[in-house]
Copies of this chain bind each other. A is one copy, B any other.
């Protein structure tokens, strides 16, 4: 039996390929990266690639799934804490921000790539996955009397997610004035106000850095 060591080896190879792809994509974009350059960097033969991935586009499915898993974990970590809903929300937004930051380059690549059906499905599914816990958090906050939603929690959750991944992605990517930390603070405060949190509580949870000029 040679299976004893084949599995870890498989896993290692796949990881090597994925890592190489991530690096090449970040550098040259999806279309600009050839399978040849990926295998060269991973140190395997051309044909080996197709032992691990159906085709070039399939790499994106994996890469996207990885990112989604990380986003999901970031959210869950914040929500699982023992604290008032609004405080947990602030933490959740912060974690999300950090995650966007971590994956900024790959997010850009994924946006660039012509999205096949399967890739789209993963993405939409991902949105749903993230919106679930976030929606529940908003519902809890409303029950606790901390949020004053005027739309169903799930809808508000989608709104917030959009705001946080796309907006922050852009902030980081295009260096909109007042990006970075200030953007996080500003956006968080904006969200809290949109959720009907009172001004003093907002100042408490998330002190404003930017002085309203």
Chain A interface residues (CB < 8 Å from chain B): 29-32, 111-115, 120, 123-124, 127, 149-156, 158-159, 162-163, 166-167, 170-171, 174-178, 182-183, 186-187, 189-191, 193-196, 202, 208, 210, 212-213
Q: List 21 A-B contacts (CB under 8 A).
A: A31-B31, A112-B112, A112-B113, A112-B115, A124-B176, A127-B176, A149-B212, A150-B202, A151-B186, A151-B190, A151-B210, A152-B212, A154-B178, A155-B182, A155-B183, A159-B163, A162-B170, A166-B166, A190-B194, A191-B194, A193-B195
Given contacts A114-B31, A212-B152, is CB(A193)–CB(B196) below 8 Å?
yes
Min CB distance, A159 to chain B, in Å? 6
List B contacts of A120 (CB < 8 A): 174
Given contacts A112-B111, A152-B213, is CB(A159)–CB(B177) below 8 Å?
no
Q: Which of A127, A158, A171, A202 has the most CB of B within 10 A?
A: A158
Per the bound structure, the CA–CA distance linking A127 and B171 in Å amounts to 11
Taken together, the copies of this chain in the complex come to 4
Tell me if A's interface is mostly helix, strand, loop or mixed.
helix
Q: Is the CB of A29 within 8 A of B127?
A: no
Q: Is the CB of B155 within 8 A of A210?
A: yes
Q: Is the CB of B152 within 8 A of A210?
A: yes
Per the bound structure, the CA–CA distance linking A206 and B199 in Å amounts to 23
List B contacts of A171 (CB < 8 A): 158, 162
Per the bound structure, the CA–CA distance linking A127 and B167 in Å amounts to 12
Per the bound structure, the CA–CA distance linking A154 and B186 in Å amounts to 12
Per the bound structure, the CA–CA distance linking A195 and B189 in Å amounts to 11
Per the bound structure, the CA–CA distance linking A18 and B78 in Å amounts to 48
Quick one: which of B170, B178, B213 contacts A166, CB cutoff 8 A? B170
* Cβ-closest 10 pairs across A and B: A166-B166, A162-B167, A194-B194, A29-B114, A151-B186, A190-B194, A152-B213, A193-B194, A124-B174, A155-B178
